[in-house]
Structure 1
């Protein structure tokens, strides 16, 4: 058995595929690519497949990660091309390797958030000091300090609007970049009709390094 990890992009209309539908899409694509995938046992067998850091619906990404098992002991050389030949528009495999690192080593995710509202030089000052937010989770709402969840945060103007580039905590207690948007809206720094474009750029370990390992067999 070979444990495969793929890095893939999720862009354009595919950003609006829900997590469950994305799972189904990837499973169907693995079958269409005629890969020797491993199935569960029982009355309703399905492909062993997991998406490592599920992405919010409507967000784009350059670095999604998914794991699945092959019944073979080696990685097919043409796995990437076979998958890309059957994936729908907006989904594309970027790298293929071995799932050698445990998922609990994921610590941060990097994002870019693009706003169409005009740039205001006072925006960075809103995030200085001890900024408190009301964080929502399945365990209930609680007040937290934003800085405890932020590894890096910067703003800069673009040709049309401005961008936030940030690295936020992932794992068991993650922070969604929508909280940054909420702060900007509260201070009237973005227009009501502004619909930000969220793009995940990286999935990182505790040292801030790219979590994905190619694991290529020489």
Structure 2
């Protein structure tokens, strides 16, 4: 199995997961790179992204899995970048060794923006919120009969740093990646619910790193 490390920025962050998969499949064709396909009457490209990124999130650490058949791995990034749309950049192609189940945490930078500047006491309020022993929120769930389920966010937050920066507040978060994972949008929703005076006008999300259980880079 081969892996492509790529980033997603600018307008490309608004490409949905399914459209991103189609974009990569078309780009492999345009680049003349042959990848493994499934067998049968309707074969399709064997590509997957272990942790789909939410629409509107930027990222510098995305991973796509595939099997390159006809191209030296060191040539893949340049050829793919010539075929991919602006905002999606492949940085390297390498042999995937570690299983996806070892992908344990994700590092996000969440920037809370305020049109009139960060409210007085907002940094302290948000920090106190994240230091609570429990922080229960509702999230959508396909398995629940009601379509929603309550989840305690605190056990899913491994580390959290809150820092006020001029007119914004930056959250440096290390969150559980899977089984279950935590989308940082739910933490922003918790701020709006429990700390309404600190609720941002906008929130900007960036995925900075994917990590193993020892908080080391997962590849």
* Among candidates 54, 57, 65, match of residue 56 of structure 1: 54
SS state at 1:70 partner: coil
- Count of residues in correspondence between the two structures: 207
Residues 105-148 of structure 1: CA deviation (Å, up to 9, x unaligned):
11111101111121523221122221222242333344333221
CA distance in 2, matches of 1:51, 1:60: 15
CA distance in 1, matches of 2:89, 2:151: 37
* Among candidates 120, 123, 126, match of residue 121 of structure 1: 123
Where does 1:6-17 land on structure 2 (aligned, <5 Å)?
6-17=4-15
Per-residue deviation, 1:206: 1.0
The TM-score, its normalising length taken from structure 1, stands at 0.89
Match of 1:101 in 2: 98
SS state at 1:129 partner: coil
CA distance in 1, matches of 2:177, 2:6: 18
Match of 2:88 in 1: 91
Where is the helix percentage greater, Structure 1 or Structure 2?
2
SS state at 1:138 partner: coil
The answer to whether the aligner puts 1:156 opposite 2:163 as a matched pair is yes
CA distance in 2, matches of 1:127, 1:22: 33
Match of 2:199 in 1: 190
SS state at 1:77 partner: helix
Per-residue deviation, 1:85: 0.9
SS state at 1:111 partner: strand
Per-residue deviation, 1:160: 2.7
CA distance in 1, matches of 2:152, 2:19: 34
Residues 160-214 of structure 1: CA deviation (Å, up to 9, x unaligned):
31111101001221111012101211211124xx1211000111111111101xx
CA distance in 1, matches of 2:176, 2:138: 13
The TM-score, its normalising length taken from structure 2, stands at 0.88
Higher mean C-alpha displacement, 97-106 vs 119-128: 119-128
SS state at 1:23 partner: helix
The answer to whether the aligner puts 1:131 opposite 2:134 as a matched pair is yes
CA distance in 2, matches of 1:115, 1:40: 43
CA distance in 2, matches of 1:171, 1:121: 28
Assess if the C-alpha contact under 8 Å between 1:112 and 1:200 holds in 2: yes
Where does 1:38-53 land on structure 2 (aligned, <5 Å)?
38-53=36-51
Mark the runs of 5 or more structure 1 residues left unpaired by the alignment. 213-218
